[in-house]
Amino acid sequence: MQSELDSYDRKILALLQEDASLSSAQIAEQVGLSQSPCWRRIQRMKEEGIIRAQVTLLDRKKIGLNTQIFAQVKLNAHGRSNFTEFTEAIRGFPEVLECYVLMGAVDFYAADRCGGHRGV
């Protein structure tokens, strides 16, 4: 069962969203906790899946990815197999970084980086 987030948890998450390389000691100092309780809170949020990953954000232009494309995709049919087939197909394009299923006039929204080398 997932626990409620209190003001300390929210401050910790805000700091990690800004800079995931901060140590638990640095975060603790900024939120007003000692290091051990802060570290335990971070570990709990990781275990509960609140914190899914810590990543490095790249400057796409500095690594030669000068174009970014957002595509809206409308499928001809809407059965479960059509969504599964599209999902499997889009994963075959390493340029596609993210793809979201939507409700409404558009079925999928995909973010693409031209010249990319990493899959979704």
- Total structural domains in the chain? 2
Q: Which residue has the higher pLDDT, 36 or 99?
A: 36
Q: How far apart are the two ends of the chain, measured CA to CA in Å?
A: 29
pLDDT in tens, 22-70: 999 999 999 999 999 999 999 999 999 999 999 888 888 888 888 888 8
Q: Which domain holds residue 12?
A: 7-47
Confidence of residue 104 (pLDDT cuts 50, 70, 90): confident
Q: What is the 3-state secondary structure (H, E, C) of the chain?
A: CCCCCCHHHHHHHHHHHHCCCCCHHHHHHHHCCCHHHHHHHHHHHHHCCCCCCCCCCCCHHHHCCCCEEEEEECCCCCCHHHHHHHHHHHCCCCCEEEEEECCCCCCEEEEEECCCCCCC
List the CATH number of the domain containing 15: 1.10.10.10
Is 0.75 surpassed by the pTM of this model?
no
